[in-house]
A and B are shown apart, each in its own frame.
Chain A
Amino acid sequence: MNKMNKKAQVFDLARKTIFWTIAGIALTAVLLAFAITVANYKSKLVHVPPQLHTELIALRFTNVEECFTFQDLNTGKVVPGVIDLQKFNDEQFLKCYPLDPQTGHEDYNFRLHLLDQDMQIKTKDYANRDIFSFNKEVLVNKNGRLVKDIMIINVQDLEIRR
């Protein structure tokens, strides 16, 4: 009888140990899953779609004289929506969107393509891998004449580094 009891006790202890080992693993997995869910939820809450962000940055390309916008030198008047072909170059791009030389590759980089003029410019850290793009209808000042064109804005976002 005594022997039987001892056996039962040993079996009971073993059973409990196995149970708690499995329970411990399951609980850890649940907690980890919870932590990951919270972290994902948090990053979703603060996520800004890169399309929105770059669209806002791109406003300057066609509206600001420090970028490519045509400025009448006689009157000083800036004409938003009109691209000055003489300004459409990489040096001007650096003035328009002066990325940090050290960390610029970690930020949005752009490649602009004037479709009909077949002219392209890009930021210094552009790695020739477009992630997404969007278009803007523009007028181009070409030797004093305004012609319609489409500016394709190709974006290399942060995913390029991943």
Chain B
Amino acid sequence: MIFKMNKKADSSILVIIFELLIVAIVVFTTVSVAHAYGNSLITQKVNLAEDIRMMSNTLAGVPGDAVVQYPANVSQFNVILRKNSVTVYEKGDSSAERVVRNFYLPQGYDAFGTLQGEDKLCLEKRGKIIILRRCGVVEQQKEEQPIRQIPEGPSFFGLEILEDPVVFVIDRSGSMDGDSGWVFPEGVDPPGEKKIDVAKWQLKQVLQGIEDGKKFNIVFFDIGVSTFKSGLVELNAQSREEAFNFIDTFEPGLSTNTGAAVQKALSLGEIEGIYLLSDGGPDVVPRALAQIKNANAVDKAKINTIAIFTKIPADASGTHLENLQKVREEGRSFLQQIADESGGRFITHE
């Protein structure tokens, strides 16, 4: 009898434990769902995309130029603005997890820009172009004055060479064939009017100025990437002569594969500084930024960037003028972002 009673009591306890377990599972599931939802950034992502869409529509509808700053921190997100859409995503998001919002700008209008992990986001309307950029770029640009003198010390386009070893990464895309508008100081025999001519001349100047013993390399790029040597080279009379001959072999080529070029430069050894010269954005901006960020994640070389743009003809107007301005804005925004992310310096020559 006692044995039977014990058996019944045991089974009752088991049932109670089972019931408690079920209740615990339900409570845990509910709390987990609520917690996951509370921590999820999806709502913020959607709101950011909606807000940028509305900001773009508003800018397209206001007369004159304007700048709007987004009133929240957006550093958790990457944003890509295109002519008819905005995409907001987190690092590692699949394409299904990215939030895309479409909009329709009036004919002749354009929108572009990429932002990766920046605190503040600004949308700027210049004429018929809407530019997505980090805030504060315009103010810095206003402070920067074009430097059009021969550098006296070892400097490249006015940027003093502070690092050792260094790699010079030079854009030789088709657009480098354009007129630089460079004003050569008196007594200097102009090597040419094209941007590539000025770049080659400046490169020789800086190599001439850097003292022997420092390590360096040179990378030229268009769609492909060419390096002077397979690793870092010590600067001396012989390597300088060889470098000059190497520089002379390059002429403007095809498109702009900046990401691969910087990636290659960073793989040449323990680089302290890179001097990247370009006249525009790469063919695929987000991919190039990601390539550079990943390649520089460990060594953290300072990437100093120099923007050199084609001189805008005095008679340029309409679509031609807008295209030239667009290329400038894209290039400037891209190069500035690379410098900012690596702690490097940025300079623009127009």
Tell yes or no: B43 within 8 A of A by CB. Answer: yes
In the assembly, what is the distance between CA of A97 and CA of B4, in Å?
A: 83
Which listed residue, A23, A52, A57, touches B61 by the CB 8 Å rule? A57
Tell yes or no: B188 within 8 A of A by CB. Answer: no
In the assembly, what is the distance between CA of A5 and CA of B42, in Å?
A: 58
Taking a contact as CB atoms under 8 Å apart, the answer to whether B47 and A46 are in contact is yes
Which residues 1-55 of B sit at the A interface, judged by CB distance below 8 A? 4, 15, 22, 26, 29-30, 33-34, 37, 42-43, 46-47, 50, 54
Q: Which residue of B lies closest to A30 (CB)?
A: B26
Which of B50, B60, B84 has the most CB atoms of chain A within a 10 A radius of its CB?
Answer: B60
Contacts of B22 in A (CB 8 A): 23, 27
**Contacts A42-B43, A45-B43 known; A60 to B54 CB distance under 8 Å?**
no
Q: Which residue of A lies closest to B43 (CB)?
A: A45
Taking a contact as CB atoms under 8 Å apart, the answer to whether B43 and A60 are in contact is no
Which residues 63-113 of B sit at the A interface, judged by CB distance below 8 A? 63, 84, 102, 104-109
Which residues 96-118 of A sit at the B interface, judged by CB distance below 8 A? 96-100, 103, 107
Taking a contact as CB atoms under 8 Å apart, the answer to whether A63 and B30 are in contact is no
Contacts of B106 in A (CB 8 A): 60, 64, 66-67, 95-98
Contacts of B105 in A (CB 8 A): 98
Taking a contact as CB atoms under 8 Å apart, the answer to whether A56 and B50 are in contact is no
In the assembly, what is the distance between CA of A99 and CA of B15, in Å?
A: 64
Which listed residue, B4, B34, B37, B54, touches A56 by the CB 8 Å rule? B54
A-B pairs under 8 A by CB, number? 77
Contacts of A99 in B (CB 8 A): 104
Taking a contact as CB atoms under 8 Å apart, the answer to whether A56 and B107 are in contact is no
Which residues 44-66 of A sit at the B interface, judged by CB distance below 8 A? 45-46, 48, 52-53, 56-61, 63-64, 66
Which residues 68-99 of A sit at the B interface, judged by CB distance below 8 A? 78, 80, 95-99
Taking a contact as CB atoms under 8 Å apart, the answer to whether B61 and A56 are in contact is yes
Contacts of B37 in A (CB 8 A): 38, 42
Tell yes or no: B62 within 8 A of A by CB. Answer: yes
B127 to chain A, nearest CB (A): 12
Please report whether the interface of chain B is mostly helix, strand, loop or mixed according to DSSP.
Answer: helix
Taking a contact as CB atoms under 8 Å apart, the answer to whether B63 and A35 are in contact is no
A51 to chain B, nearest CB (A): 12
B239 to chain A, nearest CB (A): 57
Which listed residue, A38, A80, A98, touches B34 by the CB 8 Å rule? A38
**Contacts A56-B58, A59-B62 known; A66 to B104 CB distance under 8 Å?**
no
Taking a contact as CB atoms under 8 Å apart, the answer to whether A48 and B60 are in contact is no
In the assembly, what is the distance between CA of A136 and CA of B60, in Å?
A: 18
Which listed residue, B26, B61, B108, touches A60 by the CB 8 Å rule? B61
Contacts of B84 in A (CB 8 A): 100
Tell yes or no: B267 within 8 A of A by CB. Answer: no
Taking a contact as CB atoms under 8 Å apart, the answer to whether A95 and B54 are in contact is no
In the assembly, what is the distance between CA of A56 and CA of B47, in Å?
A: 16
Contacts of B33 in A (CB 8 A): 34-35, 38
B35 to chain A, nearest CB (A): 11
**Contacts A78-B63, A98-B107, A107-B104 known; A57 to B57 CB distance under 8 Å?**
yes
**Apart from A66-B107, A80-B63, A107-B104: 11 A-B pairs, beta carbons within 8 A:** A23-B22, A45-B43, A46-B43, A46-B46, A46-B50, A56-B54, A59-B57, A61-B61, A95-B106, A95-B107, A99-B104
Interface residues of A (CB under 8 A from B): 5, 16, 23, 27, 30-31, 34-35, 38, 42, 45-46, 48, 52-53, 56-61, 63-64, 66-67, 78, 80, 95-100, 103, 107
What 6 A-B pairs are tightest by C-beta distance, nearest first?
Answer: A59-B61, A66-B106, A60-B61, A95-B107, A46-B46, A80-B63
User: 22 A-B Cβ contacts within 8 A?
Assistant: A23-B22, A27-B26, A31-B26, A38-B33, A42-B43, A45-B43, A46-B46, A46-B50, A52-B54, A56-B58, A57-B57, A59-B58, A59-B61, A60-B57, A63-B62, A63-B63, A66-B108, A66-B109, A96-B106, A96-B107, A97-B104, A98-B107
